[in-house]
Chain A
Amino acid sequence: MRIVCPFCGERELGEFTYLGDAKPVRPEAGASEDEVFDYVYLRDNVAGETNEYWYHGGGCRAWLKVTRNTLTHEISSVEPAAGAGAAKVGA
């Protein structure tokens, strides 16, 4: 499998680490235990397109949001996480 890192270009799977489903959003401080429980444990088992987090640890250390089809492994988009890159330096 190959992932096109928005910062580094096309790289092979061995440079990346898989985390998992990118859909759950961490609840705000003050959220109930049930909400946090869902965030930590509940995942859809998707047959088809899914968003997931990958870490380019063998490259630029960016966290990436990868859209992948779990049936074909086809990757249709790769987006950097909101805080990836060094855009804030000097800003």
Chain B
Amino acid sequence: MAGAQTHRLGNGGLIDRSAPLNFRFDGKAFSGLQGDTLASALIANGVKLVGRSFKYHRPRGILTSGSEEPNALVELRTGARREPNTKATTAELYEGLEAASQNRWPSLRHDVMSVNQLFAPIFVAGFYYKTFMWPAKFWEAIYEPAIRRAAGLGRAAGVADPDHYDKAWAHCDVLIAGSGPAGLAAALAAGRSGARVILCEEDFVPSGRLLSDGGTIDGVPAAEWLPRTLAELAAMPDVRIMTRTTLFGVYDGGTYGAIERVNDHLPSPPEHQVRQRLWRIVAKRCVVAAGAIERPIVFAGNDTPGVMMASAMRTYVARYAATPAKRLALFTNNEDGWRTVETALGAGLQIAAVIDARADVSPAHRSLASKGGFPVLHGAVSGVDGGKDGVRKIAVSLTGGARAEVEADGLAVSGGWNPAVGLTSFHRGRPKWRDDIAAFVPDGAPPGMVAAGAANGDFGLGACLSQGFAAGAAAARDAGHNGTPGAAPVADDEAFSLTPLWHVAGKGKAFVDYQHDVTASDIELAQREGFESVEHLKRYTTLGMATDQGKTSNVAGLAIMAAVSGRSIPETGTTIYRPPYVPVAIGAFAGHHRDETFHATRLTPSHHWAVEQGAIFVDTGLWKRAQWYPRAGEKDWLESVTREVKAVRGGVGFCDVSTLGKIDVHGPDAGAFLDRVYINTFSNLAVGKARYGLMLREDGIVYDDGTTARLAEDHYFLTTTTAKAGLVMQHLEFCRQVLFPELDVQLTSVSDQWAQFSIAGPKTRDLLKEIVDPAEDLSNEGFPFMGAREVTLRGGLKARLFRISFSGEMAFEISVPARYGDALVRNLMLAGAPFGVTPYGTEALGVMRVEKGHIAGPELSGTTTAADLGLGKMMSTKKDYIGRVMAGREALIAPDRQVVVGIKPADKARRLRSGAHIIPKGQTPGPGNDQGYVTSVCFSPTSDRWIGLALVERGRERIGEIVHAHDPLRGEDYDVELCNPVFYDPDGGRQRG
């Protein structure tokens, strides 16, 4: 059974003593209470050592009680849910919680890597950069693997995250970050004014430091004021308090990012619930009441377990009734630190001494000391004696030079407070220095945002309440709400007298950045080596670059740099602040966009029927397309595809081509419009006819191709490739709205409105006659090649019929409204049964287009011109069109350009593969003689061999030449013959037949 909570006070605290929780840390069983964090539960069990440090593997304890924690990082949970670098100080305890310490081997107490401390010289500032200067071979073979083993944070789970993450939008008038006194007062004022309010609080209980520090508000204790205030806010229908939610980013136009840890406080999310939810909040105004972070003082041994921030120490005692020390000392340079002494005395703890760096201590505190029977030492802590079991003795340099020693098992440290300026500085704002509190405060904020209370550098309870209230009222007013906010809550301000102290000289390592193991001497070294600018300092020493982003270390680092470089702190300046304010899981940014829901899936009109047929599908952009239709007994895809091709060439087959982009072009100027976007002319196309068109980009390179039919004088039906459907629509809208607004033409995307099938093969007419109304003339005279018109199907449905062919066979494409697509495909199967109708997929489609020498995606590569593709003759010389002028540039018409040509292997039995480079025969392959590459290949059932298309320098002049195909990726080398790209029916008799 779990051990007793030896360091739990008998009463007090916001924990539920009737709800014990069992948990394990490094395999050992403990018990805590509902309301604990992992950190407070460990403290209640007397655990001081919780991790090893990043570089030196030094023993580390718990430093803070919040999200700024640099030390107490653990691997939380096990298996697929194992999450490294989780802050014990914010992880809520739950029944069965399992956590493990990081950076230790074989165990936390006996860590062999702590010998790194002996090699400390190689880990000094800039060691990565200096190490890179060694020979590369040594780096790769020796140093990098060694450093990777030695340095690092926790281990990722290594398997897929089993949980779900959500993304959501929210809108409000006033967004408030933080629920301390300033945030609650802002919410009261804004809510009473009638504004829609969202208040984000990262803790699982609202109220901020009021939970730890108490105080008197409106004449009553905070413990009485809080429930009353929270009840008033809860009763306001437009005020929403979101706990476990951190506002992490500020974006343009009043958009904010927040992460809600919906179910992190449970072993796993309940069924159908998400683990975390990423909120994008759009707010008219934002009040940042994110408080301040107490800062350490840098002295030798300041990372010894048991050295803790003074405010955290009293949080553990007051909020969690857990005692980090039985006999503690305080090292402070300000009045606020003394509150920890008051809290500790109130809880019956022993005070060993107060080390105060200031010249004077208030009479009230002097009498507190004499009543409590502990000394007040004027001076500074210069060293700590202790190890993995925590603080034992504290060395003090007294003002005047004498030395003293204090025996204690805990040391509370307060170096003052730094306002949390992150949110206000995310738009490249630079905070300004305030001498009276020796801290940076916001200097302005992104539009619509204001800081209040401690986040603004005003730490007194009274100031927090009045500023927060005023900011909330103003924000509501600015957002258009003129209700009466009523009276602001009132409290007195505590004294805050501070004498800046950043660094105490002494022997031994004095840590500035605990998480990245950056010491004061690293900063001094950086300065000596010329890295004085803060941005250089940061990158050279890695100060502030760990997962805590230097929340407890940045200002101390700047102060030390300022001191050694003889500048003031404001002269030294700050680095740029960037979101996220706290680490956010990638899973939360992805939300539901993972695995099969990574993107939307588009299904063709024949999809469900194709599934019934057992089709194999291929992802084409968002589409699922039938790739081939295997039949029983076929041993591989090639056998199925070959059968499909032969069935089409010898009989009749059909293929769903609904994925092509389809655009209706309407208006008296439709023809003139198409003339300007295609290289060839469409205004002279007869009604009832279709024509192949090619579009260029304005730079002269081919953009897209497709067939466009003229269905009426003022109505064209344009098709695009599947891949470019959306982009061509966007491009045409640009041409219409921006380039040629004088043309009277309208565009309508109808890609989803029409189901379209290609029906191909010599028996196509036989099949169509069963589908189309007998009155329709499908003969060569009645419906010639490239004819296009509306027809009536048997049963009366109107369809569009286009006599176009991609396969080279006698073929039609038939369009019906999309909702009839499924019925049409089933009717084609029924009606076609006597003719052996065969559905074919995209593979057979591709084989037939290569056999026919048609270009497709691999040739429309964004580097080819119309002439490269053998379509130069289509370029009209009688009109202007997009890309015309640039297509005439010298390099785009050079005679040695790579152009489309057919290839076949010299060895008829050889397989071809795309991507092989074309090299002149007899030459050693190299960049100097690379003359192009193979773009498309297929096994041609018609030629009974592999054939392909390639882009080859002067290819059309070299028909019949044997060249070398070099495929270093697959280690293949072979000869191919350049040939006419039209392998099948070169004079086109079959498609006209």
Contacts and interface: CB of A to CB of B under 8 A. Distances in A.
A42 interface: no
A73 B427 CA distance: 10
A53 B738 contact: yes
A75 B741 contact: no
A55 B730 contact: yes
23 contacts: A2-B252, A2-B253, A2-B282, A17-B730, A29-B879, A30-B880, A33-B888, A33-B889, A39-B698, A40-B698, A55-B730, A55-B734, A62-B737, A63-B733, A63-B734, A63-B738, A74-B447, A82-B737, A82-B738, A83-B741, A83-B743, A84-B737, A89-B746
Interface in A62-91: 62-63, 72-75, 80-84, 86, 88-89
Interface string A29-46: 111010011011100000
A1 interface: yes
Q: Of A37, A40, A53, A74, which is in contact with the most chain B CB atoms at under 10 Å from its CB?
A: A40
B744 interface: yes
B740 interface: yes
Nearest to A4: B253
B732 to A, nearest CB: 10
A53 B427 CA distance: 24
Contact of A36 (B667, B734, B886): B886
Task: List the 4 closest A-B pairs by CB distance, nearest first.
Answer: A83-B741, A29-B880, A2-B253, A82-B741
Nearest to B667: A88
A33 B737 contact: no
A83 B252 CA distance: 29
Interface residue range, chain A: 20 to 34
A86 B746 contact: yes
Nearest to A34: B885
Nearest to A62: B737
Contacts of B726: 57
Nearest to A89: B746
Q: Of B447, B699, B738, B740, which is in contact with the most chain A CB atoms at under 10 Å from its CB?
A: B738
Nearest to B890: A33
Contact of A1 (B252, B698, B737): B252
Interface in B283-327: none
Interface string A13-36: 000010100000010011101001
Contact of A63 (B169, B255, B737, B885): B737
A37 B726 CA distance: 27
Given A19-B734, A63-B737, A83-B741, 13 more contacts: A2-B252, A2-B255, A17-B730, A29-B879, A29-B880, A33-B885, A33-B888, A33-B889, A36-B886, A53-B734, A81-B738, A88-B667, A89-B746
B540 to A, nearest CB: 29
Contacts of A89: 746
Interface of A: 1-2, 12, 17, 19, 26, 29-31, 33, 36-37, 39-41, 53, 55, 57, 61-63, 72-75, 80-84, 86, 88-89
Contacts, number: 73
A73 B252 contact: yes
B251 interface: yes
Contacts of A36: 698, 885-886
A62 B448 CA distance: 29
Nearest to A86: B746
A73 B251 CA distance: 10
B500 interface: no
A87 to B, nearest CB: 10
Contact of B255 (A1, A19, A40, A74): A1
Contacts of B280: 12
Nearest to B698: A40
B737 A81 contact: yes
Given A53-B734, A74-B447, A1 B888 contact: no
Contact of A83 (B169, B699, B736, B885): B736
Interface in B261-289: 280, 282
A2 B254 contact: yes
Nearest to A88: B744
